[in-house]
Amino acid sequence: MAEPYYITTAIHYPNGKPHIGHAYETIAADVIARFQTAMGREVRFQTGTDEHGLKMAQKARELDMDVRDLCNEMSQHFRDLFDLLDIGYSNFIRTTDDRHHAASQALWNAMEASGDLYLDRYEGWYSIRDEAYYDESELTNGEGGEKLSPQGTPVEWTVEESWFFKLSKYQEPLLALYRDNPDFIRPASRRNEVMRFVEGGLRDLSVSRTSFDWGVKVPGADDHVMYVWVDALTNYLTGLGYPDATEDMAKFWPADLHLIGKDIVRFHTVYWPAFLMSAKIPVPKQVFGHGFLLNRGQKESKSLGNVTDPVDLAHKFGVDPLRYFLMREIAFGQDGSYSPEAIVTRANAELANSFGNLAQRTLSMIFKNMDGELINPTQIDDADEDLFASVAAGVADLKASFADLAFSEGLDAWMKAVFACNQYVDEMAPWALRKTDPERMQAVLMTLFKVVRDLAIAVRPVVPSSIDKLLDQMGVPADARDYAAIEDTDWFGSLCSSGFRIEKPVGVFPRLEMPEETA
Ligand code: ME8
């Protein structure tokens, strides 16, 4: 039985169209989901939109729209983007769904049953942009003397009756959780930040609002809606059928990984595990706070006029080059920068000129010099064995790095194996062997065919549709494209005896043009 694996992204605020940060996070989650599937796990991958809260209500008012219409319209943009980017999610959740309201209320009831909720008055600072409460000590002064949150957003003094969650009670249990599970929060820098914050003492958390009604109603207190983060975090359970004791709950909870950005680590590693402990539900295994994507080193903002639509990027450069660039260029966990030039440079050097060229040359030579026929060679040289070993090592390194979410390193190891193959082609010069030693030429081309197939399968989680086009041309069956297939020693013999022939190959990683306006 395949071991289950449950990965989630943050659910995105649909108060505008998706931006490149949304694309980045979801692509990374998709690569992880595809990688775990290729490793033989039964994967559940959830993403969606976070539709409640003051930020959504205010945006709708600003646009003079019904908030539900705004949610419907914007949520669809996220789905469309994810379809375009080849995101193979298994579940897209919307927090306005009735079943999500039911799940959030069940979680609330479970926290109340533990005696962790009480009614009081909230007085303090609130940032609508962050949908977060802040302590006076965390604020800074803006240029005009106005108070700003640690994220640089404006805060408002808020006074209202509110339900409170006894977060203070969970200080020690949380610290024990971090101590006992050093990988609960990654990367380590984020873990340190959170530990320092919790060690500093936790105040009880205001978890309901009465000044607006766009949210999940508090059970038994109809004039209160839940603080948007209480309902938002619950989405990870809703998708599995909570509060029912479903098969999915049994199989996929606790989640293996909540993949989120660095700005919302506190919500996921302090509030969320505390809510779960209170409701007597196991906590997730890991929360990873990835870095932010910057446009030429700068944060995107409307005022700077540098907001890039991820749909345009995908159309301009292709989905797979964009996916490859994001996973390859940025050390996962750190901030990273992108620009059209950087995408084109990376995609051309590595996908088009190195791997694409290797695959294209190999298939072309088999097509031209062997009539497309695949033959099991009788003699294997040391050079062939060495290449098999280099490629096997590269694939093993990629797998180990990807399992550890170190994508850039994994792709670096993969690239080194591609270089070894290109060096082998140059040294063996199969085109010259055609006349002098045709049997050796065949052995060289078959060696290349095998390693191209292994390297293709290895990188498939990152660039799935291009690799599938290549593997189709190579006759590799659709159900033999996971990592177990690489270990299968019979595959090549079976393919040869099937009588499959290579047709005139079509390149799958074309060279991209450098964009002129920015050159
Ligand atoms: O925070 N680069 O939603 P959101 C990389 N609804 N990632 C970025 C980014 C950037 N420039 N900007 C944002 C929310 N993100 C809540 C989450 S989860 C229960 C509720 C990431 O639409 C951000 O860190 O503001 C977050 O993980 C995700 O995009 C959605 O952000």
Question: pLDDT tens digits, residue range 37-75?
Answer: 999 999 999 999 999 999 999 999 999 999 999 999 999
Structure tokens at 505: 């190959």
29 lines ligand 1 (CB under 6 A): no
Average pLDDT over residues 448-466: 98
24 vs 261: CA distance, rounded Å:
10
No. of helices (H) and no. of strands (E), the chain:
21, 17
51 CA distance to ligand 1 centroid (A)? 13
Per cent of the chain over pLDDT 90 is 94
11 lines ligand 1 (CB under 6 A): yes
Ligand 1, atom nearest to 12 Cα: 22
pLDDT reported for residue 516: 76
| pTM attached to this predicted model | 0.96
22 lines ligand 1 (CB under 6 A): yes
261 lines ligand 1 (CB under 6 A): yes
295 lines ligand 1 (CB under 6 A): no
Q: What is the mean pLDDT of the chain?
A: 96
Structure tokens at 231: 């309902």
φ, ψ (nearest 5 deg) of residue 225: -110, 155
Give the closest residue to 175 by CA, choosing from 192, 158, 150.
192
For ligand 1, atom 3, the nearest C-alpha belongs to: 12
CB atoms within 10 A of CB 329: 18
pLDDT digits (tens, 9 = 90+) for 479-499: 999 999 999 999 999 999 999
492 vs 494: CA distance, rounded Å:
5
10 lines ligand 1 (CB under 6 A): yes
For ligand 1, atom 21, the nearest C-alpha belongs to: 261
> Which residues, listed in sequence order, are joined to residue 9 by a DSSP beta bridge?
259
Q: What is the DSSP string of 406-472?
A: -HHHHHHHHHHHHHHHHHHHHHH-HHHHHHH-HHHHHHHHHHHHHHHHHHHHHHTTTSHHHHHHHHH
245-275 burial code (b ≥16 CB/10 A, e <16): eeebbeebbebbbbbbbbebbbbbbbbbbbb
Ligand 1, atom nearest to 292 Cα: 2
Give the closest residue to 194 by CA, choosing from 213, 214, 170.
170
Question: Is the pLDDT at 518 greater than 70, yes or no?
Answer: no
66 CA distance to ligand 1 centroid (A)? 24
ipTM, interface predicted TM-score of the complex: 0.99
* For ligand 1, mutation pick of 22, 51, 129 (most atoms within 8 Å of CB): 22
Give the closest residue to 342 by CA, choosing from 311, 317, 319.
317
pLDDT reported for residue 296: 86
228 lines ligand 1 (CB under 6 A): no
Question: Is the pLDDT at 193 greater than 50, yes or no?
Answer: yes
CA distances from 421 to 64, 375, 379, 383, 460 (A): 60, 20, 19, 11, 18
Give the closest residue to 22 by CA, choosing from 31, 32, 11, 33.
11
Rounded to the nearest angstrom, the gap between the alpha carbon of residue 359 and the centroid of all alpha carbons in its chain is 28
Ligand 1, atom nearest to 50 Cα: 6
453 lines ligand 1 (CB under 6 A): no
pLDDT reported for residue 299: 85
* For ligand 1, mutation pick of 260, 268, 287, 330 (most atoms within 8 Å of CB): 260
pLDDT digits (tens, 9 = 90+) for 299-339: 887 777 788 899 999 999 999 999 999 999 999 999 999 99
54 lines ligand 1 (CB under 6 A): no
288 lines ligand 1 (CB under 6 A): no
Question: Is the pLDDT at 517 greater than 80, yes or no?
Answer: no
Average pLDDT over residues 236-259: 98
Report helix, strand or coil for 11.
Answer: coil
49 CA distance to ligand 1 centroid (A)? 11
Pair 44, 91: CB distance under 8 Å: yes
Question: Is the pLDDT at 179 greater than 70, yes or no?
Answer: yes
Token look-up 């240029």 returns 143
Structure tokens at 192: 């340190």
pLDDT digits (tens, 9 = 90+) for 356-414: 999 999 999 999 999 999 999 988 999 999 999 999 999 999 999 999 999 999 999 99
Confidence of residue 519 (pLDDT cuts 50, 70, 90): very low
Pair 466, 320: CB distance under 8 Å: yes
168 vs 205: CA distance, rounded Å:
8
pLDDT reported for residue 291: 98
Type and span of the H or E element at 134: strand 132-134
Q: What dihedral angle (degrees, nearest 10) is formed by the CA atoms of 241, 242, 248, 249?
A: 180
282 vs 278: CA distance, rounded Å:
10
CA distances from 296 to 205, 300, 303 (A): 38, 9, 16
Report helix, strand or coil for 205.
Answer: strand
pLDDT digits (tens, 9 = 90+) for 270-281: 999 999 999 999
Question: Is the pLDDT at 182 greater than 90, yes or no?
Answer: yes
pLDDT digits (tens, 9 = 90+) for 393-407: 999 999 999 999 999
Ligand 1, atom nearest to 300 Cα: 11
193 lines ligand 1 (CB under 6 A): no
255 lines ligand 1 (CB under 6 A): no
21 lines ligand 1 (CB under 6 A): yes
48 lines ligand 1 (CB under 6 A): no
Give the closest residue to 338 by CA, choosing from 356, 355, 314, 362.
314
| Strands 205-206 and 185-186, bridge-based pairing | unpaired
Pair 29, 259: CB distance under 8 Å: yes
Ligand 1, atom nearest to 299 Cα: 11
Q: From the CA atom positions of the chain, what is the Rg in Å?
A: 26
158 CA distance to ligand 1 centroid (A)? 24
327 lines ligand 1 (CB under 6 A): no
25 lines ligand 1 (CB under 6 A): yes
Structure tokens at 128: 């609508």
264 lines ligand 1 (CB under 6 A): yes
